Amino acid sequence: MEVQEKSLHMTVLMTPEMANFAGNVHGGALLKLLDQVAYACAARYCKSYVVTVSLDQVAFKEPIRVGELVTFRANVNYVGKSSMEVGVRVMAEDLRSKTRRHTNSCYFTMVAMGEDGKPIPAPPLEISTTFERKLYEAAAMRRDMRREVARRNEEITAGIPDYNSD
Ligand SMILES: CC(C)(COP(=O)(O)OP(=O)(O)OC[C@H]1O[C@@H](n2cnc3c(N)ncnc32)[C@H](O)[C@@H]1OP(=O)(O)O)[C@@H](O)C(=O)NCCC(=O)NCCS
């Protein structure tokens, strides 16, 4: 039986062109890497093209410095029909002091796409450990909260011209 490839690790050295005006890593540079990691993780899991639909809970807890080695650990936590939640945990390592710290985690929703540019089913997620079960349940909770936030936002903003229209 083929083992599902749910996880992906990527390590990148933070180089000077990624810096912001304060000399730390620019948030946008990190977001681009996060999106690439989530793409690679989901595309390898699905063996198809995937697109990013949403990104939740990006909180930069502390700055990442130029010269640090950053490791992204991505995992497919949850699969719906065509959509998946990919969680990405970010660890930064100071190469001289060898200290490592968790700087942020965030959650992407990716959708598997067919050749015709329409969503296609993603492979059902095989859950074999208690840890994977917990990741799945937390992701399902976030999916429900996303829907609830969207519903309540529409309720509150109903009637504001152009606010909810495409
Ligand atoms: C992804 C896309 C094809 C989905 O289209 P759609 O008409 O909403 O299709 P569906 O209604 O079938 O939804 C597909 C899945 O996406 C999920 N989805 C749609 N909008 C979502 C949102 N805002 N947040 C989370 N999930 C979402 C649906 O719940 C569904 O999940 P499921 O198949 O597991 O049940 C469409 O939104 C798209 O093309 N978006 C642009 C993606 C892109 O270009 N990203 C890069 C940005 S530059």
CA-CA distances (angstroms) from residue 142 to 4, 58, 115?
23, 13, 29
- 109 Cβ below 6 A of ligand 1: yes
Residue 147 and residue 74: Cα distance in Å, rounded? 23
Q: Which of 31, 35, 52, 83 should be mutated for ligand 1, with most atoms under 8 A from CB?
A: 83
Residues 140-163 pLDDT 10s: 999 999 999 999 999 999 888 877
Looking at this protein, which amino acid is placed at residue 61? K
Q: How confident is the model at residue 1 (pLDDT cuts 50, 70, 90)?
A: low
Average pLDDT over residues 4-23: 95
Q: Which of 31, 36, 53 should be mutated for ligand 1, with most atoms under 8 A from CB?
A: 53
Q: Note the pLDDT of residue 60.
A: 86
Q: Which residues pair with 13 in a beta bridge?
A: 69
Placement of tokens 């936002």 in the chain: 153
Residues 120-131 pLDDT 10s: 999 999 999 999
Q: Regarding the domain delimited by 7-157, which CATH topology (the fold level of the hierarchy) does it fall under?
A: Thiol Ester Dehydrase; Chain A (3.10.129)
**Which ligand 1 atom minimizes the distance to the CA of 52?**
45
Beta strands in 20-99 (DSSP E): 49-56, 69-79, 83-93
Q: Note the pLDDT of residue 82.
A: 98
With a cut of 80, say whether residue 53 has pLDDT above it: yes
Percent over 70 (pLDDT), the chain: 98
Q: Name the residue at shortest CA distance from atom 46 of ligand 1.
A: 52
Q: Note the pLDDT of residue 125.
A: 96
Residues 67-84 pLDDT 10s: 999 999 999 999 999 999
Looking at this protein, which amino acid is placed at residue 56? D
Ligand 1 center to residue 111 CA distance, Å? 6
With a cut of 80, say whether residue 3 has pLDDT above it: no
H or E stretch covering 31: helix 27-46
- 54 Cβ below 6 A of ligand 1: yes
Q: Name the residue at shortest CA distance from atom 30 of ligand 1.
A: 83
